[in-house]
Amino acid sequence: MPMGRISVPKIPIGDPLNKRAVISDISTAVSYVIRLLDHGAGNVLAISGAGMSVDSGIRAYRGAKGSYIINKSYRPIFFHEFLESHSFRIRYWARSYLGYPTVRVAEPNVGHYAVAALMKMGYIRHLITQNVDRLHHKAIGVKQDSHAPDYFNPHPNILELHGTLKHVNCLSCGHQINRDDFQDLLSELNPSWKNYADTLQSIGQEVKTNPDGDADVKDKSFDSFVVPNCEKCTVGLLKPAVTFFGESLSKEAKELANRRVSEATNLLLLGTSLTTYSAFRLVKELKEKAGSQIGMINIGTTRADELIDWKIGSHLDTGGLGCSQVLKEVGLQLAARQRLPDSHPVIELLHSGVMKPLD
């Protein structure tokens, strides 16, 4: 398998009985995270996954209420399917049209803001997120005006490893447009689908949305859905600026991820099963560094359970401490250590964020 390729989403695991015990006490958990951050001496790398955004109301792939659990037949679209099949493309865009509004209006949760606070205090230097929802950027204060000049230049210390749903790219000429504008165009071209979406909203019926913005839609034909070609070259296929399963990461993303690992002393894994090799390989690389420490906050079994030094959460898909609860307390204790006043922006971050449980 080529390095950086997103492959079939399964977790290769060893014998669960050999897994180390997880930390379930909040005070112990907080002390472990603080120790890792202190030992990292300002060179801590964090890697976040879909579990990080669950408290924002965005469903993860795995876990008790994940897409693979509530819909046993679900699997994401693969890159070759998108390229080779018109029916797959219109199915993808129709489901994305219905699912994207959930991602667009999602707000950062307590955990996102806690990570932002730890970055601003200098405890986490760089963040690599596998998420495509851009909530880490919202939390840290990157301007979210879709027409702002700096919209396509996100925070320099945050790498979106798998891209972002906020852009749409032409596969032929490379022209890039804003996803919100493309959503409006799809509404114009598909008035019956817009009426359907408006009806769902008016009756308060939210479609179940996956982390990639794909809506779980049953018993509806996609044949009538219209997807335009690129407005610039007129022939190119349009694809969200995310890395599909079966698609290799961009050269730029791989190189920057490698650089972030080379610069890091310690690693903190947040809400990720590390199923995709593109992220798992980064853990393997840092593990080879002498004196490095790797900690994890995650609910559920992960691919890296045998590589990490400690784990907060659970090996099961339910129960255990989550990112929001632990990271907020970590941030508050470190802010108190720095004697930050209540009016300090970091304190405001640590008291911000939604907690939106999934149905």
Whether 173 has a binding-site annotation, put simply, is yes
Q: CB 97: neighbour CB atoms within 10 A?
A: 25
> Which residues share a beta bridge with 131?
none
Closest C-alpha to 183, from 149, 145, 146:
146
End-to-end CA distance of the chain: 37
Q: In what order do the strands lie in the sheet with 238-242?
A: 176-178, 163-170, 238-242
Q: How far apart are CA 56 and CA 53, in angstroms?
A: 5
CA 21 to chain centre: 26
Catalytic site includes residue 162: yes
Interstrand relation of 44-48 and 266-270 (parallel, antiparallel or unpaired): parallel
HSE-up (13 A, CA, CB side) for residue 245: 12
| Ramachandran angles phi, psi of 336, nearest 5° | -65, -40
Identified catalytic residue from 112, 136, 137, 162: 162
* Residue 230, annotated as binding a ligand: yes
Q: Let me know if 142 is exposed, middle or buried by CB neighbors in 10 A (0-12, 13-18, 19+).
A: middle
Q: Is 170 known to sit in a ligand binding site?
A: yes
C-alpha to C-alpha distance for 136 and 129, rounded to whole angstroms: 8
| Sheet (strand 126-129) strand order | 158-160, 126-129, 44-48, 266-270, 293-299, 310-314
Find the helix packing angle between 191-202 and 86-105, rounded to 10°. Answer: 40
Known catalytic residues are 162
**Positions at the binding site for Zn(2+):** 170, 173, 230, 233
**Positions at the binding site:** 170, 173, 230, 233
